Amino acid sequence: MKPDFCSIPPRKPGSADLALEIALSRQNNKIIVLDDDPTGTQTVHDIPVFTSYDEQSVKAGMQAEQNLFFLLTNSRSFSADKTAREHRKIAQNICSAARAARTGFLIISRGDSTLRGHWPLETATLKAELAKSGYAVDGEIICPFFPEGGRVTAGDIHYVKQGDDYIPAGETEFAKDATFGYRSSNLKDWIEEKTQGKIRAADVSSVSLEELRGNLDAVQNKLLNLNGGVMVVNAVEYSDLEVFVIALCGALGQGKRFLFRSAAALPRVLGGVSAKPFLQGEELRGDSSHGGLVIVGSHVARSTQQLNNLLELDGLCPIELDTDLALSPGLLAAEIRRASRAAEKAIFSGETVVLYTKRKLLDPIGMSPEEKLALSVRIANAVTETVRRISVRPSFIIAKGGITSSEIATNALGAKRAWVLGQAAAGIPVWKLGPESRYSGLPYIIFPGNVGEPDTLKNIVSGIMETQTIQK
């Protein structure tokens, strides 16, 4: 049960539906979500996602029937220099496509709900490049609310649910990330920390739960008067975010433009995406009689616990990739060959393979954060190459971890476009791979490293394997 974050109770579910529907109907901008890993599609369905942000992909997204589309940037795995360089290109491609389509647009920079990633670099780069093309913005909205993962914001403090408790984000393992670590749980302080004092906490605006639950006009007025500043959105329930979006649409209707840094909840509400039951059993697998493939790259404690619980199931073939060899290229290449051959043999025989990286994180002393990020990318590349070498089509694929799932989708499976089918469980998206991919039409389950209960991965795999057994 959530703590009592606010003296005013939340609105009843559905109470703002009509007002939200009317507000969204007046919002004609194309919504473009730049996803720093593939997990940002974890709240939507029946939406196109492109694994490239080149001119052709952006143009296709602009021309799509849907008012919302995702561009996978995978920028969480980039160096700072590459992130800035690529986001300049992205902004240029969006502006060019928007002019050709004669349509307005909103950009959501979708980042991690536990506050990791290249912020403020990404949005600062976008703002500067957009301004050059005549698309100056009137402010930036920060909204890491993601209830499916137990991430809520109240009193400007961002919380992460762990077990039955809501822990301030700055006190969690995610805040200790080797590349994107931070100290502050109060988002105003976090903004000052991450901008190195360029934006002071005292200068950050915020929309409180009390305002969202009792004073819609105050919310809209704050948006109208943001004047290029940064605003924090508090939210504990979807109804809080829905009210914010109603006010936002009012401000947009008066000619205001905003840039967004958010978790996955905002794209769902702003895009008008309805709720959908979780996909089950047969919906998560293809028609192959072979075994499945589960890939676990994430090293966070939650992922390791889920992996251990998964391995309790019968009928699995566990294969550990010795990622300590990442510091020795020749030995790593031999390890990739060994693992891929073992996986291919097992999948062909009908066993479900669990390919996972060594659980003890390789953390050499003296490495800088950028060098550690490069090492993690080298390990992700080893996992990707192992999967790419598997020639047998599996009956299903699950990739756990943001960087892992992105690299597998683009470099191992060759996906350029996919269709978001829905979710396998709360916060766990499922893509239908496009015709150009190695496994056209196969459901691809993207399991974020920091999402799910201890048995969620086990339950999903068990449910799929049960349908295979029945069909046999």
Residue 134 CB-density burial (10 A; 0-12 exposed, 13-18 middle, 19+ buried): exposed
Structure tokens belonging to residue 88 = 């300049």
CA distance 131 to 107: 13
Q: Which of 157, 233, 114, 119 is nearest to 5 (CA)?
A: 157
CA distance 161 to 180: 20
CATH topology of domain 12-271: Rossmann fold (3.40.50)
pTM of the model: 0.91
Q: Tell me: the pLDDT tens digits for 241-263?
A: 999 999 999 999 999 999 999 99
Q: Are 275 and 454 in contact (CB under 8 A)?
A: no
Give percent above pLDDT 90 in the chain.
Answer: 79
- 42: Cβ contacts below 8 Å, ≥ 6 apart: 148, 264, 423, 427, 428, 429, 446, 448, 451
Q: Are 36 and 114 in contact (CB under 8 A)?
A: no
Strand, coil or helix: what is 12?
coil
Q: Is the pLDDT of residue 175 over 80?
A: yes
Q: Is the pLDDT of residue 468 over 70?
A: no
Q: Are 243 and 21 in contact (CB under 8 A)?
A: no
In this prediction, residue 369 has a pLDDT band, given cuts at 50, 70 and 90, of confident
Q: Any idea which architecture 281-471 has in CATH?
A: 3-Layer(aba) Sandwich (3.40)
Per the rule left: phi > 0, alpha: psi between -120 and 50, beta: everything else, 199 is beta
In this prediction, residue 191 has a pLDDT band, given cuts at 50, 70 and 90, of very high
Q: Is the pLDDT of residue 447 over 90?
A: yes
Q: Is the pLDDT of residue 472 over 60?
A: no
Strand, coil or helix: what is 71?
strand
Q: Are 271 and 44 in contact (CB under 8 A)?
A: yes
Q: Is the pLDDT of residue 470 over 90?
A: no
pLDDT at 325: 85
pLDDT at 38: 86
CA distance 337 to 167: 42
Q: Is the pLDDT of residue 300 over 90?
A: no
Strand, coil or helix: what is 153?
strand
Q: Which of 264, 108, 123 is nearest to 195 (CA)?
A: 123
pLDDT at 62: 97
- C-alpha dihedral, 449 to 455 to 461 to 464, nearest 10°: -130
- 22: Cβ contacts below 8 Å, ≥ 6 apart: none
> Chain centroid to CA 287: how far?
28
Q: Which of 184, 190, 175, 171 is nearest to 230 (CA)?
A: 190
Neighbours of 198 (CB within 10 A): 11
- 471: Cβ contacts below 8 Å, ≥ 6 apart: none
In this prediction, residue 469 has a pLDDT band, given cuts at 50, 70 and 90, of low
Return the minimum-mean-pLDDT range out of 78-82, 118-122, 418-422.
78-82
In this prediction, residue 54 has a pLDDT band, given cuts at 50, 70 and 90, of very high
Structural domain boundaries of the chain?
12-271, 281-471
